[in-house]
Amino acid sequence: MVYIKILFQYILVFFVILIINFALPRIAPGDPAIYLVGDDIQYMSEEERLQVLKEFKLDLPVMQQFKNYITGIFKKDLGVSIIYGRPVWDILRDRLPWTFLIMGVAMLFSASIGIILGVIGAWKRGGRRDIGSLVIVMTLGSVPPFWVAMLLITLFSAKLHWFPSFGAYAIGAIPGTFAYFVSVLQRIILPVLTLTLVKTGAMFLTARSSMVIAMEEDYVMLAHAKGLKEKTVIFRHALRNAVLPIYTNIMMGLGAMVGGAAIIETVFSYPGLGNTIYESVTARDYSLLQGSFLVVSISILFFNFIADLGYPLLDPRVRKQTVGR
- Counted residue by residue, the chain has a size of 325
Phi and psi dihedrals of 38, rounded to 5?
75, -155
Q: State how far the Cα of 100 lies from the Cα of 258, in Å rounded to an integer.
A: 7
Binding residues for another protein, total number by CB under 8 A = 93
Residue from 106, 115, 277, 288 binding another protein (CB under 8 A): 277
* Residue 111 lies near another protein (rule: CB under 8 A): no
**Phi/psi of residue 80, nearest 5 degrees:** -115, 135
Is 267 a binding residue for another protein by CB under 8 A? The answer is yes
Q: How far is the CB of 41 from another protein (least distance, A)?
A: 15
136 binds another protein (CB under 8 A): no
Tell me how far, at minimum, the Cβ of 225 lies from another protein, in Å.
4
Burial of 46 (0-12, 13-18, 19+ CB in 10 A): exposed
CA distance 243 to 203: 12
Q: Which of residues 216-235 bind another protein (CB under 8 A)?
A: 217-219, 221-230, 232
Q: Which parts of the chain fold into alpha helices (H)?
A: 2-27, 34-37, 46-55, 62-74, 88-123, 128-142, 145-152, 178-215, 218-225, 230-232, 240-267, 273-282, 286-314
Q: Does 147 bind another protein (CB under 8 A)?
A: yes
CB 207 within 8 A of CB 200: no
Closer to another protein by Cβ: residue 57 or 124 = 124
User: Please, which of residues 153-212 interact with another protein by CB under 8 A?
Assistant: 153-154, 158, 205, 208-209, 212
Looking at beta carbons only, is 173 or 193 nearer to another protein? 193
Question: Among residues 104, 124, 179, 181, which is the contact residue for another protein, using CB under 8 A?
Answer: 124
What's the Rg (C-alpha) of the chain? 24
**Separation of alpha carbons 240 and 223, rounded Å:** 13
Give the type of residue at 65.
Q
Question: What is the smallest separation between the CB atom of 302 and another protein, expressed in angstroms?
Answer: 10
Nearer residue to another protein within complex by CB, 113 or 273: 273
Per-residue x/- track, 71-110, another protein (CB under 8 A) = ----------------------------------------
Q: Is 256 near another protein (CB under 8 A)? A: yes
**Smallest distance from the beta carbon of 177 to another protein, in angstroms?**
30
- The string over 298-307, giving b where at least 16 C-beta atoms fall within 10 Å of a residue's C-beta and e elsewhere, is bbbbebbbeb
Closest CB to another protein among 32 and 87?
32
Smallest distance, another protein to C-beta of residue 288, A: 12
Strand partners, 87: 80
- Which of 174, 323 has the CB closer to another protein? 323
Residue 120 contacts another protein per CB under 8 A: no
Nearest distance, CB of residue 162 and another protein, angstroms: 15
